[in-house]
Amino acid sequence: MAEVSPDLVAAKERAERELLKLPGVTGVDVGYKEVNGEPTGTIAIRVLVEKKRAKKDVPASQQIPAEIDGHPTDVIERKFELHPARMAVAELAPQADTGTYTPLKGGISLGPCRSVGGYVYVGTLGAIVRDNVTNKPMMLSNFHVMCIDDGFHAGDTQAQPGLVDGGSCPGDAVGTLARQSLGGSVDCAVAEVTASRGTACEIVDIGSIAGTNTVSLGDAVRKRGRTTGLTYGIVDSVNLSVNIDYGDGLGTKTLTNQIGVKPDPAHNPKFGDHGDSGSVVVNNAREVVGLHFAGDPTGYGVANPIAAVLAALNVSMCTSVVKLKEIKLEKIEKHEKHEKPEVKEHKLEAKELKLEVKELKREKIESKDAKVEKLETKEIAKLEHPEKGIGGIKEKDGKQLKEGGFEGPGGPGPGDPIERRLRALEGALGELTHFITQAQRPDLSYGALASEPDLAAQSTRLAEDAERAKDAKDAKDVEKLAER
């Protein structure tokens, strides 16, 4: 990855306008000077020509100087042409990768449904991008793939696979032309996705797209095209300006600041070929760096810088790896900065709530204990002082006890005080036992009554008193019988 001097780039840009006007010149770039077709370590201003001729055969006015503003120059033979594939309608036959892809992704066959002059065209769907306004997915390729010529219209239908590869319209229609740009630094277009196949932020044989980046001389790159498939290359040129013939209606266009890619002979003889137009070029980190659109017969490739493409179309690259990473980082940051304190606060609130509930329960128990204490104390007092009566308490049969005697048939009369007292004791004891059973008694080992006398022991004594009263009554009954 060689650093290019800004002074050299500036010198090239000042000179290229005149250089591109010379007969046979196809481009001007910055790259390694070559000797016998092999690159050296010297970075030079290079003039690219259709046919390299001996110096003696070139008029002096057309000769390239050895230096430009003190920077070395070189002359390299290279003729550029667009890389779509076309076929006569009458000769349609599938070629290369003709697959139908679900979901839609980069590196696959794509072409317009319309024909031009009896021919149909096909190129490559480079990648899925997103509209910067609506965030909807769109298909990225070249102007000359989706539009073909100056006869295009917004809404032109695109098919996957393209008609050259066996696709049909409307059966394989997947989108409609939305925006396009040709000139300056770009040859690009996008189509809105209309098919229900779905989209994926990835490229066949390469994988998920991680983002975008720029390139330097010597960078290793890859691309996946409809014709040559997955190929490898080395960035051979930066700041490349090329003259490309776009045919009738459009003529020759000069595109500037392009990327030149030599095929990596260790992997493949060509970096790109006809039908590969529209492929995105990626680096080893799966970051998109360019949009392939042209090349020469040797397999050399030319690509638009991806930043210029995205800006011209007002779209962003659809990525997956980066988004997942951002989501994970966002979750981590949120967890560290926000969620932990919130959880802590919730825990404190829950703890306080539990304490509050516990206190309320304790209050309730203590209140209940107090009521029980009051009731039992009242009953004990009545049992201990029967002469005061137990008015207001009902027996099980519904008869009401009144002070000084009983009301209702069968009750003892006012002249029998001992029996009246015994009956009062029995009624009070029955009512007390019925009102609060042993199982219903609360645990009085804590709370407001913790320091009071043992009520259970008092209850036991009451039961014993009642039993003695019953024995006394039985004895009294026996005496009465004996007297009779």
- Domains, in order of start, for the chain: 1-78 (3.30.70), 80-319 (2.40.10.120), 361-483 (no CATH)
CA 483/CA 480 separation, integer angstroms: 5
The whole-number pLDDT of residue 37 equals: 81
Asked if the model's pLDDT at residue 9 lies above 80, the reply is yes
Express each pLDDT in 186-195 by its tens digit. Answer: 999 999 999 9
Q: Average pLDDT, stretch 240-257?
A: 93
- pLDDT bin (cut points 50, 70, 90) of residue 427 is low
Confidence at 347, pLDDT banded by 50, 70, 90? very low
pLDDT score recorded for residue 292:
98
Average pLDDT over every residue of 321-338: 47
Q: Using a pLDDT cut of 70, give the percent of the chain over it.
A: 68
Report residue 117 as tokens: 């002059």
pLDDT at 170: 95
Average pLDDT over residues 451-479: 71
**pLDDT value at position 281?**
98
User: Is a pLDDT exceeding 90 seen at residue 145?
Assistant: yes
Tell me what pLDDT residue 345 has.
43
The mean-pLDDT minimum among 120-124, 127-131, 325-329 falls in 325-329
For residue 217, pLDDT over 90 is answered with yes
**Residue 461: what pLDDT?**
76
Q: CA 460 to CA 429: how far, in whole Å?
A: 11
Quick one: pLDDT band at residue 359, thresholds 50, 70, 90?
low
Higher pLDDT, 298 or 359: 298
Give dist(CA 266, CA 143) in Å, integer: 32
Identify the band that residue 321 occupies on the pLDDT scale cut at 50, 70 and 90. Answer: low
Tokens found for residue 83 = 């890389």
* Main-chain dihedrals φ then ψ at residue 324, nearest 5 degrees: -60, -40
Residues present in the chain in total: 484
Residue 212 predicted with pLDDT over 80: yes
Q: Judge whether residue 349 has pLDDT over 90.
A: no
pLDDT for 48: 94
Identify the residue with better confidence: 435 or 265.
265
CA-closest candidate to residue 255, choices 1, 26, 18: 26
Q: Bigger pLDDT: 58 or 152? A: 152
Are 33 and 44 in contact by the 8 Å Cβ rule? The answer is yes
**From CA 467, how far away is CA 471, in angstroms rounded?**
6
Look at residue 413 in the predicted model and tell me its pLDDT.
45
CA distance 225 to 133: 29
pTM for the model: 0.66
| pLDDT confidence of residue 357 | 41
CA distances to 293, 373, 473 from 300, in Å: 11, 103, 126
Give the confidence band of 468 by pLDDT, cuts at 50, 70, 90: confident
| Among the ranges given (93-107, 144-158, 216-230), the one the predictor scored with the smallest mean pLDDT | 93-107
Average the pLDDT over 230-250 and give the result: 94
Joined tokens for residue 150: 């100056």
d(C-alpha 282, C-alpha 214), whole Å: 10
pLDDT band at 462 (very low <50, low <70, confident <90, very high): confident
Per-residue pLDDT averaged across 394-417, rounded?
A: 44
User: What is the chain's mean pLDDT, rounded?
Assistant: 79
Q: What is the pLDDT of residue 344?
A: 43
